[in-house]
Amino acid sequence: YDGYFTQKRSASGALGLHPLQKITAAMRMLTYGIAADGADEYIRSAEATNLESCKKFVIKVCEVFGERYLRSPNEEDIARLLAIGEERGFPGMLGSIDCMHWGWKNCPKKWHGMFKGHVSEPTMILEAVASQDLWIWHAYFGLPGSLNDINVLQRSPVFTKLAEGQTPPVNYSINGHQYTMGYYLADGIYPRWATFVKSIPAPDTRKHKTFAKRQEGARKDVERAFGVLQSRFAIVRGPAKGWKRKEIGDVMKACVIMHNMIVEEERQTGRQSCTFEATGERVTVSRTHAEQLSSFIQMTHRIRNQGEHDQLKLDLIDHVWQKFGNE
């Protein structure tokens, strides 16, 4: 795909670095989090070459594989996610959402006030949606660490396609009530929208305690995804050492893409313990796009409907109690 990762000859006819040397240097920097000069003895290449290889590698990974491994759920994905949610007691659930901070070591001094939040060092925020198999369906990275989850949500494109009517329909019924939008499990800071289901802060009955236990247990999927991502790619576990925001963003995006590649490989080889088969009717894509501004505004109001949020939560509390109340 890129001529940089091909072996060339110099003007004197000597062979340059092999493509595997350049890619291995980039992968060691991403997976072990080592500095650019930490692989020079093993790879037999200079620090500047290792750094350039890593920068070009993450850019090309994003260009070649981004469309496939950072896509929104299609019809088959929606059917499988709904089957997983039904099995866990949450029909209509499409995953869980949360934010992660990544420290920025070389943040310019003039930006420290903007990028310093609840921690003493500058950070950048990754908003992600993950499912039980740890696939990251949505990754929005680059906002300053002074923001909280609500501020990030207001700027995030996580519901853009839903508001534009470009997502597959999600139809399910709970306690006799029909719903047409999927939802994400979220923690307490997120707003009371129809597309979020939050836990109960201080449950005082067995029914509420059962729901809170199940909701908080399922919501940990995104926390697990963050932990696995950091364990596989140590570069996102330590502070980012880049100077430019775009380069740091390319690194994070490439790590998420390669993380999803591993998830897909484990799913195909059967090494994942959480596998479900989609049942029921096949979900089809709606071809009616919200081209009118009024339709877009109406759908946005539906997403942020607090009344539907409260009704959905009450129905789920009853549903979880009926399914798991005797355990």
pLDDT tens across 137-195, in order? 999 999 999 999 999 999 999 999 888 888 888 888 998 899 999 999 999 999 999 99
Q: Is residue 13 part of a domain?
A: no
Last residue of a domain, one of 51, 68, 85: 68
Residue 28, burial from CB neighbour count under 10 angstroms (0-12, 13-18, 19+): middle
Asked if 56 and 92 sit in the same domain, the reply is no
What is the percent of the chain with per-residue pLDDT over 90, rounded to a whole number? 68
Q: Is residue 11 part of a domain?
A: no
With beta carbons less than 8 A apart as the criterion, state whether 130 and 221 touch.
yes
Asked if 49 and 85 sit in the same domain, the reply is no
**Interior CA angle at 219 toward 72 and 173, to 5°?**
70
pLDDT tens across 210-233, in order? 999 999 999 999 999 999 999 999
Asked if 206 and 259 sit in the same domain, the reply is yes
pLDDT tens across 257-266, in order? 999 999 999 9
Asked if 144 and 293 sit in the same domain, the reply is yes
Last residue of a domain, one of 36, 52, 68: 68
Q: Is residue 3 part of a domain?
A: no
Task: Identify the pLDDT of residue 269.
Answer: 78
Asked if 237 and 117 sit in the same domain, the reply is yes
Q: Is residue 7 part of a domain?
A: no
Biggest CA-to-CA distance, the chain: 80
Q: Is residue 4 part of a domain?
A: no
Task: Identify the pLDDT of residue 237.
Answer: 93
Asked if 167 and 87 sit in the same domain, the reply is yes
- Asked if residue 289 has pLDDT above 80, the reply is no
Last residue of a domain, one of 10, 45, 68: 68
Query: At a CB cut-off of 8 Å and minimum separation 6, what does 227 contact?
Result: none
Return mean pLDDT, the chain: 89
With beta carbons less than 8 A apart as the criterion, state whether 147 and 125 touch.
yes
Asked if 63 and 156 sit in the same domain, the reply is no
- Asked if residue 128 has pLDDT above 80, the reply is yes
pLDDT tens across 55-94, in order? 999 999 999 999 999 999 988 999 999 999 999 999 999 9
Place 283 in a pLDDT band, splitting at 50, 70 and 90.
Answer: very low
Asked if 123 and 221 sit in the same domain, the reply is yes
Asked if 124 and 237 sit in the same domain, the reply is yes
Asked if 36 and 153 sit in the same domain, the reply is no
How many domains does the structure of the chain reveal? 2
Asked if 211 and 290 sit in the same domain, the reply is yes
Range of the domain at 53: 19-68
Return the closest-CA partner of residue 276 out of 76, 70, 126, 45. Answer: 76
Q: Is residue 129 part of a domain?
A: yes
Q: Is residue 12 part of a domain?
A: no
Asked if 32 and 137 sit in the same domain, the reply is no
Task: Identify the pLDDT of residue 280.
Answer: 37
This prediction has a pTM of 0.88
